[in-house]
Amino acid sequence: MTLTSLTIAEARKGLTEKQFSARELTDAHVRAMEALNPRLNALITPTPEAAMAAAEAADRKLANGGGGPLTGIPLAIKDLFCTAGVRTTAGSKILGNFVPPYESTVTENLLRDGAVFLGKANLDEFAMGSSNMTSAYGPVENPWKRAGGSNAVLVPGGSSGGSAAAVAAQFAMGSTGTDTGGSIRQPAAFCGIVGLKPTYGRCSRWGIVAFASSLDQAGPFARTVRDCALMLGSMAGFDPKDSTSVDVPVPDYVAACGRGVKGLRIGVPREYRADGMSAEIERLWEQGLAWLRDGGAEIVDVSLPHTKYGLATYYIVAPAEASSNLARYDGVRFGVREEGEDLIELYERTRAAGFGAEVQRRILIGTYVLSAGYYDAYYLRAQKVRRLILEDFRQAFQQVDALLTPTTPTAAFAQGEKMDDPVAMYLNDIFTVPASMAGVPAMSVPAGLDAQGLPLGLQVIGRHFDEETVLAVGQALEDAAGFTALPSVRAGAV
């Protein structure tokens, strides 16, 4: 067993038992990162020196019997989290020179608990996308390959594609992501790892570059459910600096993983049987339900009747909020500036040069649906439908404790596919968006491989602030699935 293939839980044990030092652990990951990142492009800004210094500080703490739950654990940080003194680009040219003077609350929490940061992970520009193809810093390669020697380069999913690829390729033990409509769950599914989007308000949004403020939520990626639980325990918590952060205690998420599913009622939303769902996704879903039934859960059919409006409302609400949030990038206060004859020209040139095509499309859609005359027809109506989607979940959770669905309608696709059809790209989010609209927690767990040898994920959705049940169900799936397949591009394998 090499250091890069350990889980976080195993690494913690090894560190406290002095089987290896934090320095050795980080050094192994830094070397793997240096070997793999030029190919995968998972990190925009690697910070190997800072990582080694942090590892040495971790060793000093460990030597004194101190340290927190993540002391010496090397993580990648999505480049949407502001990190003090470390460039934070949001995947955009417009923030190419932005070095925040402050630390986001979530990364501050991870640092407090001893984590070592390897660098800033690539993402779709301003977290808009499902493929990582919209990053101004180039696409990320998925470490998985189709079986049979195919050399098609696959996408890692998005928007947190770099975070997922770094963990799948085993050069980070875990990473942070953000999920607005699926950006943690979909890349986790595409890369064969675990990704958890907590309840809206569970992790502070303070210091995270905003995309759609009523939907954005930070969460962890790791290779096991327990490792995600451990990271969430560190990331979560009330933050007075975020007015939507909720003041509820942070429970012991790791303990929750061991609860089992005996006696739980698991709902199967019939509306998720989308037309044209592939037979293998259907089979995987049935298999997942069978595993939970074997573990003692009761499977119940439920209805979420407004699911069919999820995607349409999301693609009104999210661009509307984005168009407002992105108004601040005007070349005046921070970020890149293109000079102009007058102020208006400076704005126009800066925004034309600084934003990529997808971001411009979202700003246009968002501005349109918020404009006088269309506001009632689109934005207001979308908000009303959003409430109905939330009510669907409330109703369902009166009958069941959690829901099980597929995470994505397909496995990872090749770079370049779906690029000429934004709607085909948006369809990736069909199973993830409803939980985002309702603000409920949801997790993707790798559950099997498709006919091409690519990972597929199952999604567990829970009640507001009931990440514990989501984790318990996720752990049961992980135990039953015994998913041990590994991507061909990973530390020690190339």
Catalytic residue ranges:
78, 159, 183
CB of 390 to ligand GLN, least distance (A): 18
Position among 137, 206, 211, 378 found at the interface with ligand GLN (CB under 6 A): 211
CB of 219 to ligand GLN, least distance (A): 11
Question: Would you say 127 or 167 has its CB closer to ligand GLN?
Answer: 127
Distances (CA, A) of 458 to 45, 47, 104, 359: 31, 33, 30, 29
CB of 199 to ligand GLN, least distance (A): 15
CB 161 within 8 A of CB 155: yes
- Mention every residue, 6+ apart, whose C-beta is less than 8 A from residue 139: 41, 131, 132, 133, 155, 415
Distances (CA, A) of 257 to 70, 224, 264, 467, 468: 18, 11, 14, 10, 7
Piece of the chain touching ligand GLN by CB under 6 A; list 32-40, 125-133, 304-312, 347-355: 125-133
- Is 128 among the residues that bind ligand GLN (CB under 6 A)? yes
Piece of the chain touching ligand GLN by CB under 6 A; list 50-58, 138-146, 179-187, 439-447: 179-187
CB of 8 to ligand GLN, least distance (A): 24
CB 181 within 8 A of CB 318: yes
CB 272 within 8 A of CB 307: yes
- Is 365 among the residues that bind ligand GLN (CB under 6 A)? no
Residue at shortest CB range from ligand GLN: 183
- Is 129 among the residues that bind ligand GLN (CB under 6 A)? yes
Question: Would you say 170 or 186 has its CB closer to ligand GLN?
Answer: 186
Question: Would you say 427 or 493 has its CB closer to ligand GLN?
Answer: 427
Q: How many residues bind ligand GLN (CB under 6 A)?
A: 13
CB 191 within 8 A of CB 132: no
Piece of the chain touching ligand GLN by CB under 6 A; list 56-64, 113-121, 123-131, 467-475: 123-131
- Is 235 among the residues that bind ligand GLN (CB under 6 A)? no
User: What is the SS3 string spanning 245-277?
Assistant: CCCCCCCCHHHHHCCCCCCCEEEEEHHHCCCCC
CB 33 within 8 A of CB 3: no
- Is 477 among the residues that bind ligand GLN (CB under 6 A)? no
Burial class (CB in 10 A: 0-12, 13-18, 19+), 457: buried
- Is 47 among the residues that bind ligand GLN (CB under 6 A)? no
- Is 200 among the residues that bind ligand GLN (CB under 6 A)? no
- Is 429 among the residues that bind ligand GLN (CB under 6 A)? yes
Considering only residues 285 to 324 of the shown chain, the ones binding ligand GLN according to CB under 6 A are 318
CB of 304 to ligand GLN, least distance (A): 19
Distances (CA, A) of 311 to 166, 201, 308, 423, 437: 29, 22, 7, 10, 9
Question: Would you say 21 or 410 has its CB closer to ligand GLN?
Answer: 410
Q: What is the C-alpha separation between 482 and 484, in angstroms, rounded? A: 6
Question: Would you say 130 or 415 has its CB closer to ligand GLN?
Answer: 130
Question: Would you say 388 or 427 has its CB closer to ligand GLN?
Answer: 427
Position among 41, 130, 170, 234 found at the interface with ligand GLN (CB under 6 A): 130
CB atoms within 10 A of CB 39: 13
Q: What is the C-alpha separation between 435 and 197, in angstroms, rounded? A: 9
- Mention every residue, 6+ apart, whose C-beta is less than 8 A from residue 466: 199, 401, 402, 441
Amino acid type, 455: P
Place of tokens 């040069």: 353
Q: What is the C-alpha separation between 406 and 127, in angstroms, rounded? A: 22
CB of 429 to ligand GLN, least distance (A): 5
Position among 127, 169, 449, 470 found at the interface with ligand GLN (CB under 6 A): 127
- Is 183 among the residues that bind ligand GLN (CB under 6 A)? yes
Position among 41, 89, 180, 204 found at the interface with ligand GLN (CB under 6 A): 180
CB of 159 to ligand GLN, least distance (A): 4
Structure tokens that stand for 445 in this block: 């767990």
Question: Would you say 335 or 366 has its CB closer to ligand GLN?
Answer: 366
Amino acid type, 85: G
Question: Would you say 321 or 468 has its CB closer to ligand GLN?
Answer: 321
Complete DSSP assignment for 387-455: HHHHHHHHHHHHH-SEEEEES-SSS--BTTTTTT-HHHHHGGGTTTHHHHHHT--EEEEEEEE-TTS-E
Q: At what angle do helices 22-40 and 161-168 cross, to 10 degrees?
A: 120
- Is 369 among the residues that bind ligand GLN (CB under 6 A)? no
CB 432 within 8 A of CB 185: yes
CB of 212 to ligand GLN, least distance (A): 8
Question: Would you say 59 or 429 has its CB closer to ligand GLN?
Answer: 429
- Is 438 among the residues that bind ligand GLN (CB under 6 A)? no
Position among 181, 198, 207, 219 found at the interface with ligand GLN (CB under 6 A): 181
CB 177 within 8 A of CB 219: yes
Piece of the chain touching ligand GLN by CB under 6 A; list 24-32, 178-186, 349-357, 414-422: 178-186
- Under the rule (CB under 6 A), what is the footprint of ligand GLN? 127-130, 159, 179-183, 211, 318, 429
